[in-house]
A = this chain, B = another copy of it.
Amino acid sequence: MLRLSRKSDYALVALKALRALEPGDALSARELASRFGLPVDLTPKVLARLAQAGLVQATLGKSGGYRLARDADTITVAEVVRILDGDPALAPCREGILECHRIADCDLRNPLDNLQREMMNVLDRMTLANL
């Protein structure tokens, strides 16, 4: 637990680069990848997810690329993580795959859910702007 997936990591690197752009400029996935040593084929995928989610705006065409679609201080780490890694569940039994054999006397779930909320709050408070 508590390790950023590489995709999320790449996303943060890319977003941070896009943030440093002059208004009106854009960066292609290829450019981002080569500049930061990211996997060439994976970078467009990551950016695409961010574009779907509306964090980033993609412009097609010969001199296209990506730019931020929102202000940097409205983009939180929590959101990025949620987009790329899905909504995390602290307890394994909250993922649907594993059914819990001890539901009856399971007084561990609620505290864990609270704990998770608290941790997501930490991630929510951290925006791209103050990263």
Contact = CB atoms under 8 A, between A and B. Distances in A.
Instruction: Determine the interface band of chain A, counting residues with CB < 8 A from chain B.
Output: 35 or more
A1 interface: yes
Interface in A83-131: 85, 88-93, 95, 98, 100-102, 107-108, 111-112, 115-116, 118-120, 122-123, 126, 130-131
How many copies of this chain are found per oligomer? 2
Interface string A1-24: 111111011001100100000000
Given A9-B91, A13-B102, A122-B119, A81 B36 contact: no
A4 B93 CA distance: 10
Nearest to A98: B6
Interface string A25-66: 000000000001100000000000000000000000000000
Contacts of A130: 111
A75 interface: no
A68 interface: no
Contacts of A126: 111, 115
